[in-house]
Amino acid sequence: MFDIDGTLVSLDLVERFFCCDLDTCLGACCIEGDSGAPLTEQEYQLLKEILPEVWNDLLPQAQQQIQEHGVAFVDVEGELVTQLVGGANCVFTTYERGGMCLCAIEKAYREGRVKWRKPMSCYLYPVRIKKYPGYEAVNFDRWKICKCAEVLGRREKIRLYQFLREPLIERYGQQWYDQLVANCELYIKEYLNE
């Protein structure tokens, strides 16, 4: 692990290759799993604020779920997460032709309707951040639905820390990311013989 300003970063970020392959997975991370996207309290408030801007992009079942239960709930692990439709789809999932699912929040962001891209847990995926007393751990959440992203990342020679450049900078800042890059480059040279 790398220790960067009290943040422990898994070596998976340098050892693993990764590049989302939406043409293959069709955005399965938004519709698979046993819980919604983890949220901070601030993100929960933002979701409620932007809801009118994304409302028409949501599926009718998602609109009903939100009307009946709100945008988020506390899951079995005690985490605040986005609501689900049918126990699977995040309520903010929308679909394009061909069955590819997209985040309605990010769609609205790209169209200039909102100023927030999406919850940090989604932006950073497949990395998950776990808070502990005195530090945070940054870990790769390896999941079989992302195997195609690992294959594409290896083919394109994009390491996980490179793929997640923008969200890592947004979360931790440019100086933190520059330290991560320096650590990764040294690790690649000394331990991976590249």
pTM assigned to the model: 0.89
Q: What span, in angstroms and rounded, lies between the C-alpha atoms of 27 and 137?
A: 25
pLDDT at 30 over 80: no
Question: SS3 for 4?
Answer: strand
Element (H or E) spanning 57, and its range? none
Q: Which residue has the tokens 């409302």?
A: 55
Domain assignments of the chain as residue spans, ordered by start: 1-18+126-189, 26-122
Judge contact between 51 and 105, C-beta under 8 A.
no
Look at residue 133 in the predicted model and tell me its pLDDT.
94
pLDDT band at 119 (very low <50, low <70, confident <90, very high): very high
What's the pLDDT tens digit per position in 37-92? 999 999 999 999 999 999 999 999 999 999 999 999 999 889 999 999 988 889 99
What's the pLDDT tens digit per position in 121-167? 999 999 999 989 999 999 999 888 789 999 999 999 999 999 999 99
Look at residue 26 in the predicted model and tell me its pLDDT.
75
Look at residue 83 in the predicted model and tell me its pLDDT.
94
Question: SS3 for 92?
Answer: coil
Which residues lie across from 127 on neighbouring strands? Answer: 140
Judge contact between 188 and 40, C-beta under 8 A.
no
Look at residue 139 in the predicted model and tell me its pLDDT.
96
Look at residue 97 in the predicted model and tell me its pLDDT.
79
Sign of CA dihedral 168, 173, 176, 177: positive
Look at residue 194 in the predicted model and tell me its pLDDT.
74
